[in-house]
Amino acid sequence: MSQWGSCSYLLFAICKNNGHETKLVTLDGNQILKIAQDFKPHVIAYSAMTADITAFKKADLKIQNLINSFPHKVLRIMGGPHPTYFKEVLNEMNLDAICVGEGDYAITKVLEKFKTGLPLVDIPNILSKDQSELIKELPSELDDLPFADRDILYDYLPHYQYIGLRSFVTARGCAFNCSYCYVHAYNEMFKGYGDVVRRRSPDDVISEIKEVITKYPQARLIRFADDTFIYNVNEWFLEFSQKYKEEIGLPFYCLMRSNTFTEEIAKILADMGCIAVGMSIESGDAKMRSRILKRYIPDKTIRASFDIAKKYGINTYANTMLALPGGSLEDDFNSFRFARDLKVTAPTYSVFCPYPGLQLTNYALENGYLEEGFNYENKYGSPSVLNCYTDKEKNIQVRLQHLGPMFTVLPKFLSPLLYLLVKLPLTALYHKIGALFEVFILSTKVFKGIYPKNPIIFAKIALDSIKYAHKSADENEGSRMAPILNLEGGPSRDIKKG
């Protein structure tokens, strides 16, 4: 789904096409203050996820102190998942406006009204100080949107263009309503305003891929970032698969679900050049998957999908959640054993993080597994906040999260060693080992061949990857973006820390 954050490069292209000068910064120390001081922006647009909202609030206080000294008014607007589901942030942060949902059509209207001094009213998907009733819309004509502006990243980090991975979105929306994902709330919010799942035409996607790989010929692997790349064998898929094979021909990775990954689809994907799919498990217990996670996929279907992937030489990347509401530590080890027996090529594990508004969070609250007023800013690597687990069990779950991927791919007879290691208080060490292993397994099995052969450039990228992997989520600034726009126009230049 397109938010201010997940499609920032597309929003930059839209702004650039309308004559606006932009910069992109992260909430990295005082960097945003320095850039804002030098650039004197007219608009600061935050893209926020719920887990990062406290960091945004702290940075915004500094920003407000700075812009008070500017000779002109500065518009502060926030988009992304957090304001979409928690509209209260408009008043909490005293923002001028928030974007609820997709902002592709809204952004130009916001900038034009602000530039001419008009109140921000009658703009779909925008709530402001002047308008508290939301007018909803779902962008439907995706082919009318420009291609994402990738130059903003590569201008600032030139060596990153030598990474051979290029990502594309062929569709928006998700047809499924898993309880641990906000999609169910999004689908309900925009129900009746058009098809939630919308596709670009095959020609439009192919044209963008051609443009990118021509401009950046270092491209060696394509990533399709749709929530679910293919649902069934239909006219769109048959046309796109043929054109991709004939006109692009690069290997690619995509996201699938076990209940959509049929042998017919796998055969077509493999023929197109698919080398890996992301196909998560989430739980090794079928009852918990259906009853708690609303992920109605039986064990038999999951096993069959991974067997099909092996048959067609497609590697698998799968996540499994630990510490689910009402579960047990034994459930977590059963999930590990299930993933191990599936022979997942690149497995990952994560401790469930409850966020307000999720069906799964509400389930935990209603059943007393979670206290009201819980800290929803727990991050990757943090112990569970659920009270159905002891502190000892929570620490074991975190260690299983770090060591589980490695022992999932190691020979089965070594599994007893895992059961011993997770009892030892060596979490920091396991974090480092697990991070390095994940970087290795993903780069060699899922996104293989994307790193450059030039040893100097490779060293820079590898160092960045290792640093990123070792950072805790509290230190990771990558998702906390703040596009800054100067409405007087000029060439676009991005400043972004990778």
Position 274 scores a pLDDT of: 98
Contact criterion met (CB below 8 Å) for 325 and 386: yes
Position 103 scores a pLDDT of: 92
The span from the CA of 121 to the CA of 143, in Å, is 27
The span from the CA of 158 to the CA of 323, in Å, is 41
The span from the CA of 399 to the CA of 170, in Å, is 37
Percentage of residues in the chain having pLDDT higher than 70: 89
**Pairwise pLDDT comparison (498 vs 296), residue with the higher score:** 296
What average pLDDT does range 156-177 have in this prediction? 87
* Concatenated DSSP letters of 190-220: TTTSS-SSEE--HHHHHHHHHHHHHHSTT--
* Concatenated DSSP letters of 434-482: HHHHHHHHIIIIISTT-S-S-HHHHHHHHHHHHHHHHS-TTT--TT-EE
What average pLDDT does range 247-267 have in this prediction? 97
What average pLDDT does range 270-294 have in this prediction? 96
Confidence of residue 51 (pLDDT cuts 50, 70, 90): confident
Quote the pTM value. 0.86
Q: Which residues contact 316 (CB under 8 A, 6 or more apart)?
A: 276, 277, 278, 279, 306, 309, 342, 344, 345, 346
- Delimit the domains of the chain by residue range: 8-141+479-486, 164-450
pLDDT tens for 58-109 read 999 999 999 999 999 999 999 988 899 899 999 999 999 999 999 999 999 9
The span from the CA of 127 to the CA of 134, in Å, is 6
The span from the CA of 228 to the CA of 201, in Å, is 16
**Which residue's structure tokens are 């918990």?**
288
Q: Which residues contact 233 (CB under 8 A, 6 or more apart)?
A: 262, 264, 265, 268
What average pLDDT does range 360-368 have in this prediction? 94
The span from the CA of 417 to the CA of 37, in Å, is 55
pLDDT at 28 over 80: no
pLDDT tens for 118-152 read 999 999 999 998 988 999 999 989 999 999 888 87
pLDDT tens for 460-491 read 766 666 555 554 433 333 333 444 444 433 32
pLDDT at 9 over 90: no
E-strand ranges in 143-185 read: 165-168, 171-172
E-strand ranges in 294-417 read: 315-322, 346-351
The span from the CA of 347 to the CA of 404, in Å, is 8
pLDDT at 113 over 70: yes
Position 233 scores a pLDDT of: 97
pLDDT at 52 over 90: no
pLDDT at 494 over 60: no
Fold of 164-450: TIM Barrel (3.20.20)
Quickly list H helices, 292-378.
299-311, 329-342, 359-366
What average pLDDT does range 13-31 have in this prediction? 80
pLDDT tens for 338-363 read 999 999 999 999 999 888 888 999 99
Position 374 scores a pLDDT of: 81
Contact criterion met (CB below 8 Å) for 256 and 231: no
**Pairwise pLDDT comparison (472 vs 157), residue with the higher score:** 157
Which pair of tokens denotes residue 101? 């949902």
Contact criterion met (CB below 8 Å) for 270 and 313: yes
What average pLDDT does range 236-262 have in this prediction? 97
The span from the CA of 414 to the CA of 410, in Å, is 7
Contact criterion met (CB below 8 Å) for 73 and 498: no
Q: Which CATH class is domain 8-141+479-486?
A: alpha beta
**Pairwise pLDDT comparison (493 vs 390), residue with the higher score:** 390
Q: Mean of the per-residue pLDDT values for the chain? A: 87
pLDDT at 492 over 50: no
pLDDT tens for 379-427 read 667 899 999 999 999 999 999 999 999 999 999 999 999 999 999 999 9
pLDDT at 115 over 80: yes
Position 375 scores a pLDDT of: 73
Position 276 scores a pLDDT of: 97
Contact criterion met (CB below 8 Å) for 282 and 180: yes
Contact criterion met (CB below 8 Å) for 486 and 40: yes
Position 29 scores a pLDDT of: 57
Q: In the 3-class helix/strand/coil scheme, how is 95-154 assigned residue by residue?
A: CCEEECCCCCCHHHHHHHHHHCCCCCCCCCCEEECCCCCCCCCCCCCHHHCCCCCCHHHH
Q: Which residues contact 371 (CB under 8 A, 6 or more apart)?
A: 387
pLDDT at 242 over 80: yes
Position 32 scores a pLDDT of: 80
Q: Is the dihedral of CA 84, 88, 94, 97 positive or negative?
A: positive
Q: What amino acid is encoded at 272 in this protein?
A: M
> How far is CA 497 from each of CA 20, 167, 176, 300, 450, rounded to the nearest angstrom?
22, 18, 34, 44, 20
**Pairwise pLDDT comparison (321 vs 478), residue with the higher score:** 321
**Pairwise pLDDT comparison (38 vs 284), residue with the higher score:** 284
